[in-house]
Amino acid sequence: MAVVEAMAAGLPVIMTDVGLAGELLIDDLDGRVVPVGSEKALAAAIMELKENSVKREEFKQNNLKLLEKWPTKQEYLDKYRNSLITIVQTMKSYVI
């Protein structure tokens, strides 16, 4: 959640390659994804963004464009609700 909030705020994102990292960011397009436990890679990514305002702006613009494509809160909740209804209806057919 914090990563999405940072993206929405227009901040450059650096994250380790765990969990949803690969689904949220494309390395060097939307932010930087560094290997877990690699202090050198993390430091290099931080220094790169500190020194490269063009790259920071590129990440910002790419993230804002990406987030425009994501569903709104209401769209997400509607889809979630519909999924739950489908599950319940499917389960009813298995109940004796």
User: What tokens does 8 get?
Assistant: 């929405």
CATH assignment, 2-70: 3.40.50.2000
User: What tokens does 33 get?
Assistant: 């994804």
Question: Along the 96 residues of the chain, how does pLDDT read in single tens digits?
Answer: 788 889 889 899 999 998 877 788 889 998 999 999 999 999 999 999 999 999 999 999 999 998 888 888 899 999 999 999 999 999 888 776
DSSP 58: H
DSSP 31: B
b/e sequence 14-37, b meaning 16+ C-beta within 10 Å: bbeeeeebeebbeeeebbbbbeee
The SS3 assignment for 91 reads: helix
pTM (2 d.p.): 0.69
pLDDT, residue 96, reads 61
The dihedral through the CA atoms of 49, 50, 51, 56 has a sign that is positive
Spell out the domain ranges in the chain: 2-70
